[in-house]
Structure 1
Amino acid sequence: MNGIKYLSRNGKSLLAYAKVEGDIQPGVLFLSGFMSTMNGQKALALEEFCRKSGQSFVRFDYTGVSDSNTEGSVRNLKSWVEDSIDVFNNLTSGPQVIVGSSMGAFMMMHIAKRFPERVVGMVGVAPSFYFFDNAEKWQKIMSSNDNTELTDRRQMINMDFFTGMNELNLFPDKDSKFELACNLHIIQGMKDDTVPWEETLSVLRDRFSEMTRVDLTLRKCGEHRMSRPEDLSVLVNVVKMMCNDKYKQTASLQCSNL
């Protein structure tokens, strides 16, 4: 395993990351979810795959999280989007396949908006495309007198978390649609009680243009973390296919393990 390194950024806190160097394109970037770190099972499974396949791979911790929790670092949603963009800009080169887990899929979409020419594939695992809406809900709860719904998130969220959030909504109005220049593959568990599979299906149906090439793999026994060995195997195989550019060029919905 590569040791932890730190990305130095002008005027911003250091970001902890681990990188596998590789000569085979495309590279792979992993974006972790809320309350997760770069040392999760999905990140490590993908790192092992890239190490064996000869592709570059990057994983990192957002500002204020785990190994990026340096003195004076402030967690907020806007800074995490900027973290993701900075990592993509400074630690990757050439074409990339981005894997976003839960909230990481929200970050993934912001990268795709900014660098469409370099993002050649995206994989969303239990994707929280509406993470902005959830953050708005948490903001209202925290500004009220009753914070009981946030007891498991108090270490991650304070009111600073919401600074600069307003411009981050992926779908700012009811008619907003996303058009991607690359394939998008979603892996979703049907026992996910954090991001229900029906919500994911609705987003894919209503929020992506007809020109976007989308595949959906539903896992009947899959939960939100999607970290069982069989789930990790599906994830690695999907990333492998995307890196090998074996996808069909037309949109489809694929249901497996039903």
Structure 2
Amino acid sequence: MSEEMGFLARPDGERVAWRRVAGEGPTVVWLGGFRSDMAGTKAEAIADWAQARGRAYVRFDYFGHGESSGDFAHGTITRWREDALAVIDDLTEGPLVLVGSSMGGWISCLAAVVRPDRIKALVLIAPAPDFTETLMAPEIDAAGRESLARDGVWLRRSDYGEPYPITTKLLEDGTRWSILPGPVPITAPVRILQGGADPDVPWRHALQLAQALNSDDLVFSLIKDGDHRLSRPQDLARLLAALDEVCLD
């Protein structure tokens, strides 16, 4: 079964790149992380899973990410939430399983709150709700704060490549969408996979989200030696097993 590709036009003229596999059951929607894209290891593994099992699957790149248009430095949680909702509303029908990685875990929760009738389940990988305020802002040093005050942007060091811009607009906008300490009005089943050795999202942060969600059908899996990406073969196996479980009709 081939994977369809295309672009979703947004009202401001920007385009959101997407890929879609036709299939049965709830549509699995991949929501990637901050500065990641839909060609990553986990997103590709789910595409292979969907094609092997005949499951419906949609993945996309946010504004300023991957194959989508736009300047990453102009992105905000508001904008990326809007991209996710546009993909859900325009490219899918029926029940959904949202799979959110890192920032995508936050965006998944924001989408699920406003589309509750569509959500069959959530699978969250190292979810990072409120990361702009809770995880990122506290690490800004004096020079970074001076840069933000002067230029409206701070170049944040990355373990995964070149430094990247964090703007005052992103940090301020993130507070609009804070969901912790909760409660978070999501009652659908939730599966959370979290690395115990994650340097970016401490496992206690993900656990705080688990405790804030209203779902009674929630399983929090701590992978003690797991990192942030959780892309090792054994991590991918856990992710696909969680999808098999929540996608059962």
Q: What TM-score results when the alignment is normalised by the length of structure 1?
A: 0.83
Query: Which residue among 175, 179, 182 is the counterpart of 1:170?
Result: 179
**What are the ranges of 5 or more consecutive residues in structure 1 without an aligned counterpart?**
246-258
CA distance in 1, matches of 2:136, 2:82: 17
The structure carrying a bigger helix percent of its residues is: 2
Query: Partner residue of 2:20?
Result: 19
Query: Which residue among 172, 194, 197 is the counterpart of 1:191?
Result: 197
Q: 1:136 to 1:82 in 2, by over 3 A?
A: farther
SS in 1 for 2:82: helix
CA displacement, residues 149-194 of structure 1 (integer Å, 9 cap, x when unaligned): 71337535334434644421113xx5x3113221011011111111
Q: 1:164 to 1:115 in 2, by over 3 A?
A: same
CA distance in 2, matches of 1:226, 1:11: 35
Query: Which residue among 197, 200, 205 is the counterpart of 2:206?
Result: 200
Query: Partner residue of 2:47?
Result: 47
Deviation of residue 135 (structure 1)? 5.1
CA distance in 1, matches of 2:88, 2:65: 18
Asked whether 1:239 is paired with 2:247, we answer no
Which structure 2 residues correspond to residues 38-187 of structure 1 after superposition, within 5 A? 38-70=38-70, 74-133=74-133, 134=135, 136-137=137-138, 142-145=144-147, 150-152=156-158, 154-162=163-171, 164-171=173-180, 176-187=182-193
Are the equivalent residues in 2 in contact too, given 1:35–1:156 (CA < 8 A)?
A: no
CA distance in 2, matches of 1:168, 1:135: 15
CA distance in 1, matches of 2:117, 2:48: 27
CA displacement, residues 9-55 of structure 1 (integer Å, 9 cap, x when unaligned): 22341101111111x11110000011211101100111111112112
How many percent of aligned residue pairs carry the same amino acid? Answer: 28
**What are the ranges of 5 or more consecutive residues in structure 2 without an aligned counterpart?**
none
Q: 1:10 to 1:125 in 2, by over 3 A?
A: same
Q: What TM-score results when the alignment is normalised by the length of structure 2?
A: 0.85
CA displacement, residues 33-88 of structure 1 (integer Å, 9 cap, x when unaligned): 11211101100111111112112111111101121134799322210111111111
SS in 2 for 1:117: helix
Query: Partner residue of 1:250?
Result: none
Aligned residue pairs, count: 239
